[in-house]
């Protein structure tokens, strides 16, 4: 019984070391060194290889090495093959840090101050209270809730929007399409932590921006496909949005010469808001394999119908 890893090779080497320590009885291989394809039962991949069942006829489970699965083409995977997304605690911890950094940065005008520094301008901006800055999160899953837990300490009025109803202490929760505009109308800093699906592609668009209070700010740490980039540039130009912190873009790496690189109202990071940590990810994978073998429910099992 072999586990095959197919993603960043350097991280694969760290996984291999951890597997050797924590599951010495289990064979572990890093792509493209697959050994006997018939022995591969478990695959941990960022993108699975093509013709997966023909190549690995005894495959039982596929893990995404990231929290999202939008990079998977489900039409190439047999419907009965379970896909598990990475639910290791390191991802949530790092994402909560990033969202806190971005929200505090926007709250304390870091984006205009970075621009002022570049232009050698020394100019105050009146400090506002956290109580007057309303923060709203789209997507109240494991990451959205982890971020809200950290933000609570600062005193921002908090709200969230989600497909199915949520009840979270100290957070005004809005549900579904019908409550989207009511949610947006009371958000000064909007954070996107949705999965990328047919329903959410392009959701951060001109219409959504127009439903926010004038001068609101955006944090996108979902996926680049959530954002209509031209609509963001127009909203920043008109002042409908005051600033944006973007961790993800439609094309990654962002192409040279793209307008986001030098935009004075955009703070850009290279998809690093959160990364799977091998130390905790390996434990999650081993626990899931044990559950699979025992026929127990597996946390992180992707619902093919909803796409996340």
The contact set with ligand NDP (CB under 6 A) reads: 66-68, 91, 95, 139-144, 162-164, 193-197, 199-200, 221-223, 247-248, 271, 273-274, 308
* Residue number of the CB atom closest to ligand NDP: 141
Backbone angles phi, psi at 102, to 5 degrees: -65, -45
Residue-by-residue DSSP string for 175-237: ETGGGHHHHHTT-SEEEE-----TTTTT-BSHHHHHHSPTTEEEEE-S-GGGB-HHHHHHHHH
Known active-site residue 263: no
Of 150 and 271, the one with the shorter C-beta distance to ligand NDP is 271
| DSSP-derived secondary structure letter, 130 | G
- Are 224 and 201 in contact, with CB atoms under 8 Å apart? no
Catalytic residue among 108, 152, 166, 271: 271
- Give the separation between CA 303 and CA 41, rounded to whole angstroms: 21
Closest CA to 91 of 143, 147, 140: 143
Of 48 and 68, the one with the shorter C-beta distance to ligand NDP is 68
Q: How many CA atoms lie within 13 A of 250 on its CB side?
A: 14
Distance in Å, CB of 237 to ligand NDP, minimum: 25
Q: What is the DSSP pairing of strand 135-138 with strand 189-192?
A: parallel
Distance in Å, CB of 145 to ligand NDP, minimum: 8
Known active-site residue 271: yes
Of 87 and 241, the one with the shorter C-beta distance to ligand NDP is 87
Three-state secondary structure call for residue 28: strand
- Are 46 and 66 in contact, with CB atoms under 8 Å apart? yes
- Give the separation between CA 282 and CA 191, rounded to whole angstroms: 29
Distance in Å, CB of 77 to ligand NDP, minimum: 17
Closest CA to 128 of 107, 111, 112, 113: 107
Distance in Å, CB of 226 to ligand NDP, minimum: 8
Of 258 and 271, the one with the shorter C-beta distance to ligand NDP is 271
Distance in Å, CB of 236 to ligand NDP, minimum: 21
Residue 194, beta-bridge partner list: none
Distance in Å, CB of 161 to ligand NDP, minimum: 6
Of 209 and 308, the one with the shorter C-beta distance to ligand NDP is 308
| DSSP-derived secondary structure letter, 255 | P
Straight-line distance from the first to the last Cα atom of the chain, in angstroms, rounded to the nearest whole number: 28
Of 57 and 165, the one with the shorter C-beta distance to ligand NDP is 165
Catalytic residue among 223, 226, 263, 277: 223
Active site residues: 223, 271
């Amino acid at each position: 019984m072999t586990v095959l890893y197919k993603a960043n090779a350097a991280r694969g080497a760290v996984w291999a070391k951890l597997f050797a320590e924590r599951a010495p009885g289990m064979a572990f291989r890093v792509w493209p060194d697959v050994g006997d394809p018939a022995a591969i039962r478990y695959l941990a991949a960022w993108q699975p290889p093509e013709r997966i069942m023909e190549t690995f006829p005894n495959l039982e489970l596929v893990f995404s090495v990231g929290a999202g699965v939008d990079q998977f083409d489900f039409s190439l995977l047999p419907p009965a093959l379970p896909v598990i997304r990475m639910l290791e605690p390191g991802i949530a911890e790092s994402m909560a840090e990033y969202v806190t950094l971005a929200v505090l940065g926007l709250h304390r005008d870091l984006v205009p101050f970075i621009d002022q520094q570049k232009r050698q301008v020394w100019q105050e901006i009146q400090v506002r209270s956290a109580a007057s800055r309303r923060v709203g999160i789209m997507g109240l899953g494991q990451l959205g809730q982890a971020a809200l837990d950290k933000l609570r300490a600062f005193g921002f009025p908090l709200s969230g929007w989600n497909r199915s109803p949520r009840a979270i202490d100290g957070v005004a929760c809005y549900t579904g399409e019908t409550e989207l505009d009511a949610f947006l109308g009371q958000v000064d800093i909007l954070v996107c932590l949705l999965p990328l699906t047919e329903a959410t592609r392009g959701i951060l668009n001109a219409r959504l921006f127009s439903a926010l209070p004038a001068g609101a700010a955006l944090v996108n740490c979902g996926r680049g496909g959530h954002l209509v980039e031209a609509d963001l540039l127009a909203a920043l130009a008109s002042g409908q949005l005051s600033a944006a912190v973007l961790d993800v873009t439609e094309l990654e790496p962002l192409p040279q010469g793209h307008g986001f690189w030098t935009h004075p109202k955009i703070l850009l990071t290279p998809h690093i808001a959160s990364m799977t940590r091998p130390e905790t990810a390996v434990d999650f994978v081993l626990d899931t394999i044990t559950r699979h073998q025992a026929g127990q429910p597996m946390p992180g099992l992707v619902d093919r119908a909803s796409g996340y």
